[in-house]
A and B are shown apart, each in its own frame.
Chain A
Amino acid sequence: MKICVPVSCRLRFLLAALALVATSAQAAPTIRLIPPSGARFLVGQRFDLRVEGQGTGPFSATLAVDGVALPFTSGAQNTLATDGATSAGWGGFNRRGFSLSRPGHHTVSATFTDATGTASASADVEVIRVGDGGEIRNVIIMLGDGMGVAHRTAARLVKYGVTAGQPNGWLAMDEFPGTGLVTTHSLNSIITDSAPGMACYVTGSHAQNGQEGVFPASMTNPFYYPRVEYLSEYLHRTRGSALGIVTTADVEDATPAANAVHTGNRNAGQGIVDQYFDDRERSGLAVLMGGGRRWFLPQGTFGSSRGTGNDYAVLPVDLQQRWGAAAGTIDPSRDLISEFQAAGFSYADSASSLQAALASATPPRLLGLFGYGNMNVALDKVAKRRSPTIHGVVDDYHAPDQPMLDEMTQAALSVLARRRGGFVLMVEGAHIDKQSHLMDPDRVIGETIEFDNAVGVAGEFARHNPGTLVLVLADHECSGFSLIGALTGGIAGLQALAPDNGVTDPATQPGRQKVVGTYDAAGFPRYQIEPDGYPASFDVDQKILVGFGANADRYEGWLGKPLPVIDSLLSGDIKAELAGEGYAAQPYLRAESAFGFFIRGQAAGQDQAVHTAADIPVSAYSRGNAWRSFVGVQTNTDVFFKIARLLLGPADPGRGDEDR
């Protein structure tokens, strides 16, 4: 059951794309046709068609599929305003909530006319055949945000070590048998961000960077953009499946939102969380856990980020009607937690209240908001658990009792396992990416270990629940994370080195560069692992050293990044106040810019490391043979169609007619 696009299809895609460019280039007005050529959809999967163009109004347009004219659902012909939702200077016409039920290739053609002439465009779209039932009913997508091969290797090396060339243990994701590679490109770049990076796995379509569940458009509101149906929506509509979303990020963040929310602006936090709730009956949302409480508190409450700037306003009527979508409104005073509770969701705001929510009877729906913004990283959560009475980073964030990702995953599965229609669960280890951006390798590795613990929970569920597929994926690689060697000379020797921050002459080798043990000198580092499964310390004498191939300008000192020291130039009362906040004074804890050696980053103009175009590894597990589908090299959108075929099965070849 191979869905991967064969060479002949890729050639057809290329030719179609070229045809589109050629026809557009010859026309007077510009024209853009959505969906783009090469798009693929499931039989019956909904998507919007849109013809838009830029020119001198009034505007008019036509649309046809396989030569048969198709009326628009919005966009007045021979007017300047057209659909009333298009950017100034443009005209736009829409056919909302369309689908095709005949498998195979289809030609979408369009014209766009302004006062100066007519432009035409065409697109080749493919419809993939699916049936009524496949070999799996539940899908768990474990999404290690930004997690490349080296992130996984680092977690394994730290947690288990290596003896005589043989790993002393394997991560839970290492044990999954179906291993392959996945390309990560987006619709408009070889380098994706997290929005299309996630969306492609659950829509089957490439999205533009910054956008999720939509195709690009020139429209006045990003929530108006032409939509494509999510896997969760498709399955809930056709089978009554449930959706679970679990993340260590703010729940409005790109990866979680790219499972249920349709927007061209991944940063529209308030509109995103509102749409989670407003359209829960379309997505089947039953579990939502992560950070982001700030969006759920009414404006005026301390900690609330609700306002008027990034909500979703009233959606176009045809979008509402054709998708059954909520209209949306600007409502900064909304109390979204109360609304979730009134809709039957149990609410937890801490690890202990999460346990309490599951202690007596498993709730049918679950909302967990464990931080105001992003949840804290694993190491900071673990530090608080190890030393509850010491003021820690989690206390600074007013979230001292946050659950670990594996605990959240277990809770989500408890709720979703009761769903008769099966479920889609997405679990994101968000800070693998975020800490890679910040080039903090210790926190990256800690986060990857936490993520793998959650993978272990998902794998255990699949072992006891036939018909469950677990996929370990990443949306992209972040930072060019690479393991370059191990520390020589020990931590004490490192701390004793003179500052290297003044070394600017390339002929002078910084002391901290001399301690990098490569090849034989790297040997086999060992970390002491505590009973909680995390290292006692990352600053061990033979510490694994990490380089960043996609780095920004930075200073490297190799030590873990604690709070900075109190600057000796500060006045006495400021020093006293900062000391009261818990800042250390030891010289070796100073900010790395005070002692590390300077590294000029290749990512020009960036303060942080960036995503890379590298393929990411996929690991699949199921009790049956479903995992075999993911062996080999595949595109990110291929993953969607493989999941769909495993869930729905191949259909009777004779079925299907056009749905007009």
Chain B
Amino acid sequence: MTALLLVGLLLASEAAAVPPPVPLSFREFFEPSPRELRPSARLLSLAGKRVKLVGFMAEMESPPTGGFYLCAAPVTATEAGGGTADLPPDAVFVVVKSAAGKPLQHIARPLEVTGVLELGPVTHEDGRVSSLRVLLDGPAPSSTTP
């Protein structure tokens, strides 16, 4: 059901004729450096812009509310570290406004996500902190909407 919802959102957003999202890959997030996460110029340049990311929804024993973590590879996270210790550091928190206060059902398939890229620390409703977020596109305005 959730997969259909996301696909629906994507289709709706395409139909709204907004600027096309910029494709972004997880491997483009950071400059190659084993010692620190140094954000790439491309990542920084896309802050505040619509991007398209392909990845996998992390399957979590303690799932977040109001969104989900999108990772480059499939991840199953145990309860460790408040539920986030198994996530890679480039996991993107995808904010789903319609899911505020609720966890989303896991989707065991690759997902394409479009929305506005947001960088910088934010503490979410469940207390977890994220530095990389995509604010998922909402549905396009209905033609019947005044």
Contact = CB atoms under 8 A, between A and B. Distances in A.
Nearest to B112: A574
A438 B76 contact: yes
Interface string B67-86: 00001111010111111111
B118 interface: no
B85 A307 contact: no
Contacts of B121: 299-300, 304, 306-307, 332
Given A309-B128, A396-B88, A401-B34, A253 B81 contact: yes
Interface in A13-48: none
Interface string B116-128: 0000110100011
Contacts of A349: 34-35
Nearest to B63: A607
Interface string A597-609: 0000000000110
Chief secondary structure at chain A's binding surface: loop
A300 B54 contact: no
Contact of A302 (B27, B39, B87, B128): B39
B30 A267 contact: no
The CB with the most chain B CB atoms within 10 A, among A268, A299, A398, A580, is that of A398
Contacts of A580: 25, 27
Interface residues of B, number: 44
Contact of A303 (B54, B89, B128): B89
Contact of A372 (B80, B89, B109): B89
A305 interface: yes
B119 to A, nearest CB: 8
Given A350-B34, A578-B54, A434 B86 contact: yes
B100 interface: no
A294 B80 CA distance: 14
B99 interface: no
Contacts of B110: 566-567, 570, 574, 578
Interface in A197-218: none
A244 B136 CA distance: 45
Contacts of B37: 301-303, 372, 398
Given A304-B121, A607-B61, A267 B82 contact: yes
Nearest to A349: B35
Contacts of B90: 396, 398
A400 interface: yes
B59 interface: yes
A373 B72 contact: no
Interface in A58-108: none
A320 interface: no
Contacts of A607: 59, 61
Contact of A269 (B34, B38, B81): B81
A252 B80 CA distance: 9
A308 B54 CA distance: 31
Interface string A356-399: 00000000000000001110000000000000000001001111
A476 to B, nearest CB: 14
Nearest to B33: A398
A373 B84 contact: yes
A250 interface: yes
A374 B81 contact: yes
Chain A interface size band reads: 35 or more
Q: Which of B73, B85, B90, B108 has the most CB of A within 10 A?
A: B85
Interface string B1-30: 000000000000000000000010111001
A310 interface: yes
Contacts of B131: 302-304
B41 interface: no
B107 to A, nearest CB: 11
Nearest to A433: B78
Contact of A373 (B35, B39, B73, B87): B87
A503 interface: no
B109 A294 contact: no
Contacts of A591: 108
B66 to A, nearest CB: 14
A401 B36 CA distance: 13
A132 interface: no
B89 A310 contact: no
Nearest to B35: A349
A498 interface: no
A168 B57 CA distance: 44
A292 interface: yes
B61 A373 contact: no
B123 A307 contact: yes
A563 B81 contact: no
Contacts of A254: 80
A306 B23 CA distance: 29
Interface string A236-253: 000000000000011011
Given A302-B37, A570-B110, A580-B25, A374 B85 contact: yes
Contacts of A301: 37
Nearest to A435: B78
Given A398-B30, A438-B76, A250 B112 contact: no
A175 interface: no
A131 interface: no
A316 interface: no
A577 B89 contact: no
A195 B25 CA distance: 38
A269 B80 CA distance: 10
Contacts of B71: 396
A373 B86 contact: yes
A460 interface: no
Contacts of A303: 36-37, 89, 131
Given A253-B81, A574-B110, A302 B30 contact: yes
Interface in A138-170: none
Contacts of B83: 267
A485 interface: no
30 contacts: A249-B85, A250-B81, A252-B81, A252-B85, A254-B80, A267-B79, A294-B89, A301-B37, A302-B39, A305-B81, A305-B128, A307-B121, A307-B123, A309-B128, A309-B129, A349-B34, A349-B35, A372-B37, A373-B81, A373-B88, A396-B72, A401-B34, A430-B80, A434-B80, A570-B110, A574-B112, A577-B54, A581-B27, A581-B73, A591-B108
- Counting from the closest, the 10 A-B pairs by CB-CB distance are A309-B127, A307-B129, A373-B85, A302-B37, A267-B82, A372-B89, A250-B85, A303-B89, A303-B37, A307-B123
